[in-house]
Structure 1
Amino acid sequence: MNQDLNARLAQAQQGSARLHKIDAMLKELEGELQELENHKQELKRILEQETMDVEKLENKGLAAFFHAVMGNLEERIEKERSEALAARLKYEQTLKDREEIGLGIAKLTSERLNYVDCPLEYQELYAQKRKILLEEQGTMAQEILALSDEKNRRRINLKEIDEAIEVGDQVLDSLNQALRNLSSAEGWGTWDLLGGGVISGLAKHSHINSAQADIEKTQSLLRQFKTELTDIRIGTELSLKTEGFIKFADFFFDGIIADWFMQTRINESQASVENVKNQVQSIMAKLHELKTQESKRLQRLDAELSELIVKG
């Protein structure tokens, strides 16, 4: 058997698989970009409204007069500032997400050009190999060809699973960091309730800067993990529940910026992050199970192919 032909055939098959995956990833990212664009418009509206609410209170309008009479003006201003800050962080994160997705689409579109000819090349090389096998192996040619083709497909699938697992591990690490951030925010919020004052406020603002960088990383990893799952062809469906995925940063920032007297907001954010983490853990368990199954299938195909060639 021509070893060069085998190598070229395997390379063309891998290129075809990569082309298929790129197309699936582009479809996923383009859909997310559209969803993100709609979400950005909504967040922009909320940010403008929250900013206006702060300005009304600070400019001593009717609302400020009402809260002054009630004796809670400063408290109300602080609450509105917190909500405005959360709105700004959400909006800025959406802009970063949109930019990242745009760059990802451009990169994949460029990479796609390297593989557009692979499907046709694969068909041509496959026909050549079939002809050679028919001449050399006779009646067993088709069976050998089918087993070789299946073996290459399984190897590609195994590679896809390994890549998804690698990203999934990073996602879990990042989600755990997000939970630690929320736990820390909860502690500062409790101190605020007890009169922690300026020191607590400064610590929380410092923590926000760290949390903002962490959540940006988490968003990126979640998106990468989600796209890695688009083309794992094992005869089963693997997917992150998309509901709330775009808004992951929203509920995180709602918790990290939660006004000092609403600890339930932080608790709700923690529960939301835990929900995403549980989804990822469930998918990771399935991926490890599929990896074991795929490895066994590959070993079995190796044995069958070797036995067939020996008999021939």
Structure 2
Amino acid sequence: MSDTTSGELHDAARDRARRDQLTAHADAARGLVAQRERDLAELQQKLRVETADVRRLERFSPAQVWGLLRGDIDDKLAVERAEQQAAEHAVDGATERLAHARVDLARIEDEIAALGDVDAAYAAALARREHELRAADPDAAAELTRLDSEAGVLSAEAREIAEARSALERAQEALGAAQQALDSAGGWSTYDTFFGGGMVADWMKHDRIGRSARAFTVVNRALETLATELADIDAPPLAGVQISESLAVFDVLFDNVIADFMVRQRIADAQAAASDLRLRLDGLGDYLAQRADAVETRTAALLAHRERLLLDA
């Protein structure tokens, strides 16, 4: 490694380490500022209460008349004013502490900004070192090529997993909306079956059944998209939950106790299937999270190995 490249890497690594230290300090400073802000808000609220108490005693009011008759209004007012002054001092102290915390945070942030883009500087220094190494050492060049190829595969896998997790989130959201609609249909079906219902209850039940059917259509479309994404990472697809708007037609044509019980049972079956799907989607979420963590761990190890190769050569 040339002296120039070695010095650049040394300085870039030093600045990046300093940036990381300052970032940790800044996070702590932000937490302190937030705490000081909460403390000040609480003390300001207490001051407002104490001030209101003083003003209430200073105003001519039935309470003041009663205090004058008892002869203790001056004592009470003196106590309230003392408490108000104590609250004012507390607010002043909290304001000063907050200002100091903000100044300290600004100082740290300014120091971070003064370092510039340390990641870019470090990457540039590594790139220059890599150029030197590839030209001077064929074996090292081959190893770098292998590592870059593996990194590309991992990057693609990470992207596919991220797309699958995004599709999973959309499916979970759609399922949540469908379950709400289905629960509403189940409630109206129970009312119509066991409590006499009537035309309004019948209409509400049919409307909710139709809504839940349309909602589950959205779920199934989301599951189809999810299945496509899962296929990209060799994960098994998930079956959907189907209910039919013909349930509403069936209930209209055969509006009797038997038909009502059958509709209610079908809704209950769909609710059970939806709950089972929810559990399977949650399990899939855990699986994808584990896959993502594994890829991230492998990528970090690969990059660390690549960096050591460049630094140690």
- After the TM superposition, list the runs of 4 or more consecutive aligned residues in structure 1 that deviate by more than 6 angstroms: 255-258
Q: What is the match of residue 287 of structure 2?
A: 286
Q: Normalising by the residue count of structure 1, what TM-score does the alignment of the two structures yield?
A: 0.50
Q: What is the match of residue 242 of structure 2?
A: 249
- Superposed CA offset, 1:214-256 (max 9, x none): 2222111110111101111xxxx521344xx4xx324797699
SS of residue matched to 1:238: coil
Shift of 1:272: 1.2
- Superposed CA offset, 1:79-114 (max 9, x none): xxxxxxxxxxxxxxxxxxxxxxxxxxxxxxxxxxxx
Q: What is the match of residue 165 of structure 1?
A: 165
SS of residue matched to 1:302: helix
**Are 1:255 and 1:267, in contact at CA under 8 Å, matched by a contact in 2?**
no
**Are 1:177 and 1:214, in contact at CA under 8 Å, matched by a contact in 2?**
yes
Q: How does 1:19-34 map to 2 (within 5 A)?
A: none
Shift of 1:271: 1.1
Which entry has the higher C-alpha Rg, 1 or 2? 2
Query: Which one has more relative contact order, counting CA pairs under 8 Å at least 6 apart?
Result: 1
When residues 284 and 252 of structure 1 are mapped into structure 2, their CA distance, relative to the original with a 3 A threshold, is farther
When residues 257 and 268 of structure 1 are mapped into structure 2, their CA distance, relative to the original with a 3 A threshold, is farther
**Are 1:147 and 1:301, in contact at CA under 8 Å, matched by a contact in 2?**
yes
% identical aligned pairs: 24
**Are 2:223 and 2:238, in contact at CA under 8 Å, matched by a contact in 1?**
no
Q: How does 1:1-312 map to 2 (within 5 A)?
A: 135-193=135-193, 194-232=195-233, 237-242=234-239, 245=240, 248-250=241-243, 259-262=259-262, 263-312=264-313
How many residues were matched structurally?
A: 173
- Superposed CA offset, 1:155-183 (max 9, x none): 11111111111111111121122221221
Shift of 1:299: 1.0
**Are 1:179 and 1:270, in contact at CA under 8 Å, matched by a contact in 2?**
yes
Q: Normalising by the residue count of structure 2, what TM-score does the alignment of the two structures yield?
A: 0.50
**Are 1:252 and 1:273, in contact at CA under 8 Å, matched by a contact in 2?**
no
| Matches of 1:221 and 1:291, distance apart in 2 | 21
| Matches of 1:154 and 1:169, distance apart in 2 | 22
Q: What is the match of residue 83 of structure 1?
A: none
| Matches of 2:165 and 2:308, distance apart in 1 | 33
**Are 2:182 and 2:208, in contact at CA under 8 Å, matched by a contact in 1?**
no
Q: How much is the aligned-residue C-alpha RMSD, in angstroms?
A: 2.6
| Matches of 2:218 and 2:267, distance apart in 1 | 20
What letter is aligned with 1:189? Answer: S
Shift of 1:133: 8.0
**Are 1:161 and 1:291, in contact at CA under 8 Å, matched by a contact in 2?**
yes
Q: What is the match of residue 41 of structure 2?
A: none
| Matches of 1:177 and 1:211, distance apart in 2 | 9
| Matches of 1:190 and 1:305, distance apart in 2 | 65
What letter is aligned with 1:249? Answer: Q
* Unaligned 5+ runs, structure 2: 1-131, 252-258
| Matches of 2:140 and 2:134, distance apart in 1 | 8
* Unaligned 5+ runs, structure 1: 1-131
When residues 267 and 180 of structure 1 are mapped into structure 2, their CA distance, relative to the original with a 3 A threshold, is same
**Are 2:210 and 2:248, in contact at CA under 8 Å, matched by a contact in 1?**
no
- Superposed CA offset, 1:9-68 (max 9, x none): xxxxxxxxxxxxxxxxxxxxxxxxxxxxxxxxxxxxxxxxxxxxxxxxxxxxxxxxxxxx
Shift of 1:288: 0.6
When residues 156 and 256 of structure 1 are mapped into structure 2, their CA distance, relative to the original with a 3 A threshold, is farther
